Amino acid sequence: MTVIDVRRLRKSYGDVRAVRDVSFAVERGEIFGILGRNGAGKTTTVECVAGLARRDGGAISVLGRDPQDGDPALRERVGVQLQSGALPDKLRVGEAIDLFASFYRAPADRVELLDLLGLADVRDRPFDALSGGQRQRLSIALALVGRPEVAILDELTTGLDPAARRATWELIGEIRARGVTIVLVTHFMEEAERLCDRVALIDGGRVVAVDTPAGLTARAAREQRIRFRPDRPVDPALLRALAPVSSVEALGGGELVLGGGDGLLFALVTTLAEMGVEPLELRLEQASLEDAFLALTADGPPASAAAEAGAPSRAEAVA
């Protein structure tokens, strides 16, 4: 079931065309990522979805309603955590939760929410005495206090250290397990790869692709590459003669890098075994979501490469 449907969204701020053409649909129970570089139009898009900004064109449906209508029933069903979610310095964690809970008719159990977010121990601490990770978790708690069906989370792990980031990712998984549909704005590839079922890649105010992280990565799939160091010298010409091998590069320290297509690894290890050569420090390199990101967005290869990946049919790609 489609929970959020965005069609040909447009939004400008004066002369700045923040969102030119954005379309995507989010299904119930998904973690849906909105990925793009700084200024791509991600926040503007989710502000329109959350009903916090008025669009110039296009259509948006959230749980079957237009967020722009200001329907209070819809506001209760959508939790929003936006980037600039600063609170008054002296407001305590528990007070902030109570205050936000008072906006809803049937708020979440506050003790359970504080436990879930790992904030029970700091409930009496004022906002200005919280660590970055605690502030971030508090802002997620405030987005969830109304027991929303949809949570919109913007840049939720920006500024967190790796451990806090990982803990936050686990938390998002738990929130989804409770049946909440999550829209996650991010510019971290790893975050999108780990958490999101599908991702809309936005660039210059347009959607350039909507796919699973694996599907996006496959679009950028270059040939496989294998690096290794043979335990004794190998004639590169012998490797070059193998069917899947398209290139052999000799690096310093005796290291070799082979490029090629399907069956590359099998052909290499069987041939080396026949020669009685052991490959040391063998590594298989594959395309990553970051390769896909660079290939599909502005600073990547020229338009022709993106065209092969289906980018020019931008809006159609998600229709």
Ligand X SMILES: Nc1ncnc2c1ncn2[C@@H]1O[C@H](COP(=O)(O)OP(=O)(O)OP(=O)(O)O)[C@@H](O)[C@H]1O
Q: Which of residues 289-318 bind ligand X (CB under 6 A)?
A: none
User: Which CB atom, from 191 or from 224, has the smaller least distance to ligand X?
Assistant: 191
CB 41, min distance to ligand X, A: 4
What does the per-residue mask of binding to ligand X show for 211-250, with x meaning CB under 6 A? ----------------------------------------
Would you state the structure tokens that stand for residue 46, as one six-digit string? 């989710």
CB 295, min distance to ligand X, A: 19
Which residues have a Cβ under 8 Å from the Cβ of 177 and sit 6 or more positions away?
none
User: Which CB atom, from 15 or from 281, has the smaller least distance to ligand X?
Assistant: 15
CB 43, min distance to ligand X, A: 3
Q: How many whole angstroms from its chain centre is CA 172?
A: 12
Stretch that binds ligand X, among 10-18, 108-116, 176-184, 218-226 (CB under 6 A): 10-18
CB 37, min distance to ligand X, A: 7
User: Which CB atom, from 39 or from 159, has the smaller least distance to ligand X?
Assistant: 39
CB 2, min distance to ligand X, A: 23
User: Which CB atom, from 284 or from 298, has the smaller least distance to ligand X?
Assistant: 298
User: Which CB atom, from 101 or from 143, has the smaller least distance to ligand X?
Assistant: 143
State the SS3 of the chain: CEEEEEEEEEEEECCEEEEEEEEEEEECCCEEEEECCCCCCHHHHHHHHCCCCCCCEEEEEECCECHHHCCHHHHHHEEEECCCCCCCCCCEHHHHHHHHHCCCCCCCCHHHHHHHCCCHHHCCCEHHHCCHHHHHHHHHHHHHCCCCCEEEEECCCCCCCHHHHHHHHHHHHHHHHCCCEEEEEECCHHHHHHHCCEEEEEECCEEEEEECHHHHHHHCCCCEEEEEEECCCCCHHHHHCCCCEEEEEECHHHCEEEEECCCHHHHHHHHHHHHCCCEEEEEEECCCHHHHHHHHCCCCCCHHHHHHCCHHHCHHHHC
User: Which CB atom, from 36 or from 133, has the smaller least distance to ligand X?
Assistant: 36
CB 12, min distance to ligand X, A: 8
Residue whose structure tokens are 């570089």: 37
User: Which CB atom, from 158 or from 288, has the smaller least distance to ligand X?
Assistant: 158
CB 13, min distance to ligand X, A: 3
Residues binding ligand X: number (CB under 6 A): 12
Q: Which of residues 168-207 bind ligand X (CB under 6 A)?
A: 187
Q: Which of residues 11-70 bind ligand X (CB under 6 A)?
A: 13, 16, 18, 36, 38-44
Q: Which residues bind ligand X (CB under 6 A)?
A: 13, 16, 18, 36, 38-44, 187
